[in-house]
Amino acid sequence: MTAHLIDSLATTDALAAVFSDSFLLQSMLDFEAALARVEARLGVIPSRAADAISAAAVADGLDAAAIARAARESGTPAIALVQALVARVHAADPESARFVHWGATSQDVVDTAFILALGRAHQILAADHARLTGSLRQLSDRYAGTIMLGRTLLQAAPPVTFGLKLAGWFAALKRGWRRVHDAFGESEVLQFGGAVGTLAALGPNGVPVHRGLAEELGLKAEPSWHTHRDRFAVVITNCGLYTGGLGKIARDLSLLMQDEVGELVEKGGGSSSMPHKRNPVASAIALAAETRMPGLVAAFLTGMVQEHERAVGGWHAEWPTLSAAIQCTGAALAALADVVDDDVLTVDTDRMRANIEETHGVIFAERAMMLLVPSLGKEVASQLVTDAVQHTRATGQPFAAVLGSMPEIARVIPQAELQNIDDPEAYLGAAEALRVQMLA
């Protein structure tokens, strides 16, 4: 089991598996096995040792809880893991056990194992990102001409199209994902430096082993970056940005799902006491993730102050922080991808239209201003429009009609234009052109 109750809304099964004991243990063992193979190939250790180590490097059967507990004594799970591996190899071939972890240091194992986990997480996120943005593009095209209220500071404003709103969500996620993707790419760098980053324990073999190990693990070979953690930091900050984009979508979704707005319904979740509820559960999961992410990003940035060649604390804070952040991101992404889907999301285009009509046209006050100001000046125009808005609000009479009944206004705006002033289709500006540009 990978999902725990306390984190149930904060991960997905797939991502929980990536940061599970077994995946992390196996990643550490993969490092050790690859190191042995490369060292054997270069003649640094006997081939037989590499074989024995590779054979023993299987997470199954290791006591993860014991290793976790030992980590609290030594400050890292690597020492107990290496001991367990040594014991296993020793049981099969005592001589070979000498060459386990040859020339490496704890941080080499721990960091590289984490990088391997990040690589897997990258794939999982990528699939859900493709799913969500695919749906957004499809929905944006479908609702390209569907008019809805624009809303600024949660107040009714001139109209937009639902397609434009969806394209805005799409474009932000697309920009965000490019950054996330690049950041994961930046993190695909082997950590291998030995005790202090000089590879001194391997003598002249240091550089070749370093290069070979990177290749063996499919990672880039760059000088050890022990206490320079920007390659991890750039992953978490960009997940933070991306989740910001998801959170914005979720906020909009949940606002549009309000009964009083009624323009959208996520699939909806139930309630233990109220059978009528259609709760925005995906939005809640995404907003919960976005609530947590900034603090997780902050924690990671704080930990970047790492002393000399290995930190006291900053390094030790990374695993829980970065793993929680990636699971947060993935939980939000999967939740939204599940509901922002043409087959799942209910879009009430009538209600969208009706909500515009409910304003009786006052949202076109700006339009009236644009027509009046050139002739009347800002002050006079603003006073007249404000009067008209108030009259509409008091009486429910259409704004266009009220304007038409005001002689100072009728004098300035041609009657045809006046009658048309509250036609939302006629006040969409460049919405469609911008939408197309956003999807490009």
Q: Please report, for residues 161, 190, 199, 352, 393, the alpha-carbon distance to residue 85 in angstroms, rounded to integers and kept in the order given.
A: 61, 21, 22, 63, 77
Q: Write down the least CB distance from residue 179 to its own copies, Å.
A: 7
Determine, following the binding rule CB under 8 A, whether residue 207 of this chain makes contact with its own copies.
yes
Q: Mark whether 271 is an active-site residue.
A: yes
Near its own copies by CB under 8 A: residue from 42, 55, 195, 345: 195
Query: Of 94 and 218, which CB lies nearer to its own copies in the complex structure?
Result: 94
Determine, following the binding rule CB under 8 A, whether residue 181 of this chain makes contact with its own copies.
no
Query: Of 305 and 410, which CB lies nearer to its own copies in the complex structure?
Result: 305
Q: Which two tokens stand for residue 405?
A: 């009944």
Q: Write down the least CB distance from residue 321 to its own copies, Å.
A: 6
Contacts of 234 (CB under 8 A, 6+ apart): 183, 186, 187
Determine, following the binding rule CB under 8 A, whether residue 252 of this chain makes contact with its own copies.
yes
d(CA 315, CA 301) in angstroms, rounded, equals 11
Q: Write down the least CB distance from residue 56 to its own copies, Å.
A: 15
d(CA 296, CA 277) in angstroms, rounded, equals 32
Q: How many CB atoms lie within 10 A of CB 440?
A: 8
Stretch binding its own copies (CB under 8 A), from 34-42, 69-77, 118-126, 127-135: 69-77
Determine, following the binding rule CB under 8 A, whether residue 130 of this chain makes contact with its own copies.
no
Determine, following the binding rule CB under 8 A, whether residue 190 of this chain makes contact with its own copies.
no
Q: Which of 94, 167, 133 is nearest to 333 (CA)?
A: 133
- Give me the half-sphere count of Cα atoms (radius 13 Å) on the Cβ side of residue 11: 21
* Residue 282-321 contact track with its own copies, rule CB under 8 A, x = bound: -xxxxxxxxxxxxxxxxxxxxxxxxxxxxxxxxxxx-xxx
Query: Of 44 and 217, which CB lies nearer to its own copies in the complex structure?
Result: 44
d(CA 306, CA 88) in angstroms, rounded, equals 34
Span 259-278, contacts to its own copies by CB under 8 A: 259-261, 269-278
- DSSP code at position 363: G
Stretch binding its own copies (CB under 8 A), from 132-140, 144-152, 340-348, 406-414: 144-152
Q: How many residues bind its own copies (CB under 8 A)?
A: 189
d(CA 365, CA 421) in angstroms, rounded, equals 9
Span 367-406, contacts to its own copies by CB under 8 A: 367, 369-370, 373-374, 377-378, 382, 385-386, 389
Contact by Cβ (8 Å): 261, 297? no
Q: Write down the least CB distance from residue 146 to its own copies, Å.
A: 14
Q: Parallel, antiparallel, or unpaired for β 155-161 and 346-347?
A: unpaired
Stretch binding its own copies (CB under 8 A), from 130-138, 212-220, 255-263, 407-415: 255-263
Query: Of 126 and 304, which CB lies nearer to its own copies in the complex structure?
Result: 304
Query: Of 33 and 335, which CB lies nearer to its own copies in the complex structure?
Result: 335
Determine, following the binding rule CB under 8 A, whether residue 132 of this chain makes contact with its own copies.
no
Q: Write down the least CB distance from residue 117 to its own copies, Å.
A: 9
Determine, following the binding rule CB under 8 A, whether residue 156 of this chain makes contact with its own copies.
yes
Determine, following the binding rule CB under 8 A, whether residue 330 of this chain makes contact with its own copies.
no
Stretch binding its own copies (CB under 8 A), from 123-131, 135-143, 228-236, 406-414: 228-236
Q: Which two tokens stand for residue 401?
A: 């009609």
Q: Please report, for residues 177, 185, 404, the alpha-carbon distance to residue 130 in angstroms, rounded to integers and kept in the order given.
A: 10, 17, 50
d(CA 42, CA 361) in angstroms, rounded, equals 78
The residue type of 219 is: L
Near its own copies by CB under 8 A: residue from 35, 109, 219, 340: 109
Q: How many CB atoms lie within 10 A of CB 342?
A: 12
Q: Write down the least CB distance from residue 229 to its own copies, Å.
A: 7
> Which position has the token pair 């990528």?
126
Could you list the beta-strand ranges (E) of 52-153: 147-152
d(CA 183, CA 252) in angstroms, rounded, equals 27
Contact by Cβ (8 Å): 409, 388? yes
Contact by Cβ (8 Å): 175, 194? no
Query: Of 91 and 200, which CB lies nearer to its own copies in the complex structure?
Result: 200
Stretch binding its own copies (CB under 8 A), from 35-43, 340-348, 354-362, 407-415: 354-362
Determine, following the binding rule CB under 8 A, whether residue 98 of this chain makes contact with its own copies.
yes
d(CA 122, CA 235) in angstroms, rounded, equals 10
Determine, following the binding rule CB under 8 A, whether residue 121 of this chain makes contact with its own copies.
no
Determine, following the binding rule CB under 8 A, whether residue 415 of this chain makes contact with its own copies.
no
Residues belonging to the active site: 271, 310
